[in-house]
Amino acid sequence: MITNQLALVRRELWEHRSIYITPAVVGLVMILTLLTAFVFASGYQEIVDIGIVGAQNLAGDVERRAALLALLIGNSIPFIFAGAILTIFYCLDSLYAERKNKSILFWRSLPITDAETVISKLLTTVLAIPLIAFVVIVCVHLIILAITSIFVSIQGGSSVFLVWKSAPLFDVWAGMLIITILLPIWFSPFIGWFLFVSAWTKRSPLLMAFLPLALVPTLEYWVLRTHLIWDAIQTRFEQLPFLKGIDPEQFFDDERFIASTDAVSLLAYIDIGHFLASPQMWAGAVVCGLFITAAIYVRRYRDES
Amino acid sequence: MTSLVTARNVSKSFGAVRAVDNVSFEIEKGKITGLFGPNGAGKTTLLKALLGLTDCDGDLSVLGLDPFRQRKELMKNICFIADVAVLPRWIKVEQLLDFVEATHPNYSRKRSEELLARTKVRKDARVRELSKGMVTQLHLSIITAVDARLLVLDEPTLGLDIIFRKEFYGNLLNDYFDGERTILITTHQVEEIENLMTDIMFINDGRLLLDASMESLASRFVELVTSGENADKARQLGPIYERDVFGKKVMTFEGIDRDKVAAFGELHTPSVADLFVAKVKGAAA
């Protein structure tokens, strides 16, 4: 079972190279942007002693730490959006392409059950894609800090002190790891739905995935005059139960330009307990499970010849 | 003799269409069985049922397993080529071997590599870069390297040129078949496998028209070439099918004493292709 899963997930990475190419491209773009910014900033160094990124301008240790934390988190967010788009396209393709190109007949000639295959696609979505994104995030952080160090050194600052000792690396990494793992779990009803559409639709999976998301709530409103489904979809995006509410005043007080020590930590805003205790999270997981079961059923029972 | 496949009253309907209609047969170990039928006769549906790709009514047992419910178990001991060019086009040859090695308990990678070494298939090539013939060679090298008890081939040489087709069956006999293993083949190109089959089945409109050993064909069927008055007399004996060839009548008889018809003309044992036409057309008449 486990060896099969490893082989199956590895196969997904062979087939969908976008799983690692996408975060790599996002990382590359960010690194190039940063380099451009530094080159640009160097030209104005007399006017702006630009320590924004190197945090030279900031007086206290905590503030410098806060600025670096913001930098590292800010650099991680594009990966999350890219990962979301990647996940949608991966899910929709994963059980559709094999039917379209008939290779499903080969895969099904091997001693692997349909359940194992569908579960491997789910595991790729909730584990492989986030973990690969996480590894790229860590690499990009290191490269960005290295570039920043060089810049700070050229400016005459101590990069060891200003950058490496100030950057809350492990806090950010632990936080990002938790976020990248929990996000797909929170959005798992959508992942289940996309995988089901991929297993079920005969054409245009993208359309078939998104059209019902708009049509079904509209229909519900027309017929029942209620909007339960729409509310369920909407609230999923409005609140992430593993994030505590961020109080911007507490995090970074503009006027006083002082950050509170406790607040300068990504982990301080993450609440796994609240996530695990959230009924919406469990309800979502159940919905995901139902869609996955349906996807397995369709792959197993439908005869398309 | 041990039966590898036992089918009793197997049926499969799609809506009102009975794709497989009450079919019963057995396939014994060590046989090479050819399954023939026109397009839409139910061949593929029957094979899919055997392979556990679709469920069906009736009793079907393959290697003692229920194919639909125990497909994973079954696939450890069965190999099939369901269609030409179904290997995923994006995969590299090396990755394909890695994957089968990781997931198939009865697969010998070494054997595949030996077989591939005799071809022009490069291990770092992607399947989409290979010609159709090479893809088939690759597929055959994989299934031949699986220590399977039953091999099912559905139109394995469709779209291949004559050299690859000949080579395919040559390799199949030399590398795979050892008398212990069993093969079930469907193909349109009857002539190509006429000499390697031990058993033959005809299917049309979902029904089994013939299930016989190749050896029994000569005693069971006879073809009479005749004309004129003799043709009228022969017709009284109830041929299953009659056709015109160069102004002569060719009649196919089933289960008749050869001496009875010998007086009316020239006797032959019908070729499988002619027999097929006789059975299909005869059943329709």
Q: What is the pLDDT of residue A294?
A: 97
- For residue A247, give the 3-state DSSP assignment: coil
Nearest by CB to residue B89, choosing from A6, A7, A101, is A101
Q: What is the pLDDT of residue A34?
A: 87
B76 close contact with A: CB closer than 8 A? yes
Residue B285: pLDDT band by 50, 70, 90 thresholds? low
Residue A192: pLDDT band by 50, 70, 90 thresholds? very high
Does A305 have pLDDT greater than 60?
A: no
pLDDT in tens, A208-232: 999 998 899 999 999 998 888 888 8
Among the listed residues B127, B118, B193, B120, the one whose alpha carbon sits nearest the alpha carbon of residue B155: B193
Mean pLDDT value across residues A94-120: 92
Residue A54: pLDDT band by 50, 70, 90 thresholds? very low
Nearest by CB to residue A7, choosing from B44, B80, B99, is B99
pLDDT in tens, B209-234: 899 998 888 888 999 998 888 888 88
pLDDT in tens, B77-120: 888 887 666 899 999 999 999 999 999 998 999 999 998 998 89
pLDDT in tens, A65-78: 887 888 888 889 99
Does A56 have pLDDT greater than 70?
A: no
Q: Where are the alpha helices (DSSP H) in B83-238?
A: 93-103, 109-117, 132-144, 162-171, 190-194, 214-220, 228-235
Cα gap B33→B211, rounded to integer Å? 10
**For chain A, what is the mean pLDDT?**
85
Residue A52: pLDDT band by 50, 70, 90 thresholds? very low
Are B222 and B253 in contact by the 8 Å Cβ rule? The answer is yes
B73 close contact with A: CB closer than 8 A? yes
Q: Which residues of A touch B55 (CB under 8 A)?
A: 301
Q: What is the pLDDT of residue A49?
A: 47
Interchain proximity A103–B88, CB inside 8 Å: yes
B80 close contact with A: CB closer than 8 A? yes
**CA of A299: which chain B residue's CA is closest?**
B53
Q: What is the pLDDT of residue B10?
A: 92
Instruction: For chain B, state the CA radius of gyration.
Output: 21
Cα gap A15→A10, rounded to integer Å? 9
pLDDT in tens, A132-186: 999 999 999 999 989 888 887 877 777 777 778 778 889 999 999 999 999 999 9
| Mutation choice for A interface testing from B56, B72, B132, B150 by most A CBs within 10 A | B72
pLDDT in tens, A3-33: 899 999 999 999 999 999 999 999 999 999 9
Reported pTM: 0.87
| Mutation choice for A interface testing from B79, B84, B99 by most A CBs within 10 A | B99
Does B182 have pLDDT greater than 50?
A: yes
Cα gap B279→B22, rounded to integer Å? 18
* Kind plus residue range of the DSSP H or E element containing B14: strand B3-14
Residue with token string 């002539």: B191
Mean pLDDT value across residues A112-135: 96
